[in-house]
Structure 1
Amino acid sequence: MEELNKIIADNLASLRKNRNLSLDKTAELTGVSKAMLAQIEKGKSNPTVSTLWKIANGLQVSFSYFMKEETATFVKIQKEDVSPIEDEAGGYRVFPYFNFQPDTKFEIYTVELEPGCIHGAKTHLGKEYLLVREGDLTVSLDGQKHQLKTGDALQFSGSMLHSYENKAADTVSFFLLMYYPEPEL
């Protein structure tokens, strides 16, 4: 409950300051006392539902506005902190950097493919956007082979039969963005 109080406190204080409202003016608009507002902003008071409704109505925001958590302005991920997911033989490694989020509808991976490895991917919804980071990669789409080298890119529907193959002597790595559109009804 303390964490929720802090979220409410931060959101109320931020909203009030962004609108250049004093505690007195906020109390006037909401019908909630200046002392109570100060206690809520300091995280020292657990506001009731009716108090939050008064504040929301007075400041003309949704009730849930006060419960929303701040999203990070940036996310830094270091490769050594990302654990790969490997196939049975270990020749195909996927490093999940950004997992699927409903608001963005995509996920981003780095993939490493060892020499001689062929990975037959499962068909799936959405689209794949592939960019070869380093090496030579063969991508098979519905049986048609596409040779890609460092810096080359390929976009295709995940519903196509597809596989990745490394015919070279060195490991190939590529970035993979998988986009999932809204389902068609």
Structure 2
Amino acid sequence: MNIAQHLSATLKSLRQQREWSLSRLAEETGVSKAMLGQIERNESSPTVATLWKIATGLNVPFSVFITPPQVEVPGAFDPQQRAMVVTPVFPWDPELCFDHFSIVLAPGALSESTPHEKGVIEHVVAISGTLDMRVAGVWRSLTPGEGLRFAGDEAHAYRNSSDQPAHFHSLIHYPKEKTASELAVRHRDRNHQ
């Protein structure tokens, strides 16, 4: 199963587990019913920002959509076609409640993130290039080796205003009281399908 097939099957499965219609899913995620239907039918490849909205609306880790079980993923998105390439470093860990990603942002790219679920904390560390981060409405530049920790449950943005790719790591920590029970069960069920 490739990434696109995994994404469409996972979205449909999560929606059906909740017994939600596409209309209800659209309300919960802020993504149009038409787009959600296209993703479920594997007719459209969503942007990273759209996937974040879907993951947040469904209250699941982002990596659920980009890491098929038992498959190595060298890069979740083709850098020739996408402004942002996301690769899992460590898969979703239900005990520690985190996702860890290696992300490359193309020159000139901007990625705006809607708020994640309440209580999410994000840790970003610049690896190479210069990464601009907007947190609490303020832009801050990170150079290699610098990090920023912030509340991921508020709108934030990543920008590369240079002419070279910006590489950074993002560790997203979900609130344990919610994720330990809910998300571990969802992750286990997904792996047994």
Return the TM-score normalized by structure 2.
0.50
Change (3 A) 1:89 1:82: closer
Residue in structure 1 matched with residue 100 of structure 2 by the alignment: 108
Distance 2:133 2:79 in 1: 17
Give secondary structure in 2 for the equivalent of 1:176. strand
Map 1:26-45 onto structure 2 (within 5 A): none
Residue in structure 2 matched with residue 122 of structure 1 by the alignment: 114
Structure 1: tracts of 5 or more residues without a match: 1-79
Residue in structure 2 matched with residue 147 of structure 1 by the alignment: 141
Write the deviation string for residues 34-93 of structure 1: whole angstroms up to 9, x where unpaired: xxxxxxxxxxxxxxxxxxxxxxxxxxxxxxxxxxxxxxxxxxxxxx85232469950111
Matching residue within 133, 148, 171 for 1:177: 171
Change (3 A) 1:109 1:147: same
Q: CA deviation at 1:183?
A: 3.5
Residue in structure 2 matched with residue 92 of structure 1 by the alignment: 84
Contact 1:82 1:97 in 2 (8 A): no
Change (3 A) 1:178 1:88: farther
Is residue 156 of structure 1 aligned with residue 150 of structure 2? yes
Q: CA deviation at 1:150?
A: 0.8
The structure number with the bigger radius of gyration is 1
Write the deviation string for residues 85-112 of structure 1: whole angstroms up to 9, x where unpaired: 4699501111012121211211110000
State the number of aligned residues: 105
Distance 1:84 1:106 in 2: 18
Judging by fraction of residues, say which structure has more helix: 2
Percent identity between matched residues is: 25
Q: Which amino acid aligns with 2:91?
A: N
Structure 2: tracts of 5 or more residues without a match: 1-71, 179-193
Change (3 A) 1:162 1:108: same
RMSD after superposition: 2.2
Is residue 133 of structure 1 aligned with residue 97 of structure 2? no
Residue in structure 1 matched with residue 24 of structure 2 by the alignment: none
Distance 2:124 2:86 in 1: 13
Write the deviation string for residues 4-48 of structure 1: whole angstroms up to 9, x where unpaired: xxxxxxxxxxxxxxxxxxxxxxxxxxxxxxxxxxxxxxxxxxxxx
